[in-house]
Chains A and B, each alone.
Chain A
């Protein structure tokens, strides 16, 4: 994954993991723990929950070590366990019903044109995002996306996983990931527009 140093030797780690070697497991935790906590934090928007989930995920991984076949990369396998645990926690805390994605994506006329006329965002986003309120607004908007779309946006655009990696983590197809990512981005744009249109005034 982006930024993660390559672990010493994937094959040796897999062997140590399956043998239940504590030293290997410690290496795994230290190599991947930071990145996994980051994913969990971005899904849950809560530091304490993120740490709890990552702990649970590593414990699950240890318990399931003999089932790890080595077909997938260790990183992908650990991401999958962590993302699933984070989503379960998110669902247990689900505060409000999800807005349907259909309500958030653009619509088209029979002739193929947009129904909406889009108003420019005059201020460059990097300038707008220097303001705390705007950054919080964007985070809140991400949080409003329906879960399946939000998760793909986080994994692809925020964590930098590739399409194939994301498909493996979520146990779905590359094409499904691509469609979800696209709709997530379009929905997020819709949610950001009211804030970004008024920004420079």
Chain B
């Protein structure tokens, strides 16, 4: 497996959807290729950084099965709800 192929497969690897036969080729490549090791780590960390930066919590892609409580949005303010309801009542 080349670095290019590995990079192409990354999205499925990180989500846990990669075919096990392909995963089996991933690990040996990572063992011999420090550059890809760094890249895979940074790819994952980029996702975490983006989530933290917007206040979505730090749950990684793989761990997102459970709802990330840090990310529950506040409820709509009453005045906004009323403004919308008033707007739709107009003929």
Contact = CB atoms under 8 A, between A and B. Distances in A.
B21 interface: no
Interface string B28-72: 000000011011011101111111111010100100100111011
A49 to B, nearest CB: 14
A51 B67 contact: no
Interface of B: 2-5, 7, 10-12, 35-36, 38-39, 41-43, 45-54, 56, 58, 61, 64, 67-69, 71-76, 80-81, 83-85, 87-89
A187 B39 CA distance: 12
Interface residues of A, number: 56
Contact of A189 (B42, B56, B71): B42
B1 to A, nearest CB: 9
Contact of B2 (A111, A120, A158, A185): A111
Nearest to B58: A126
A113 B36 CA distance: 9
A135 B42 contact: no
Contact of B84 (A29, A106, A108): A29
A119 B37 CA distance: 11
A22 B47 CA distance: 40
B51 A3 contact: no
Interface of A: 2-3, 22, 25-26, 29-30, 33-35, 37-38, 42, 51, 54-55, 58-59, 62-63, 106, 108, 111-114, 117-121, 125-126, 128-129, 135-136, 138-139, 142, 153, 157-160, 178-179, 181-182, 185-186, 188-189, 192-193, 196
B81 A26 contact: yes
Contacts of B49: 125, 128-129, 138, 192, 196
Contact of B45 (A108, A119, A125, A182): A125
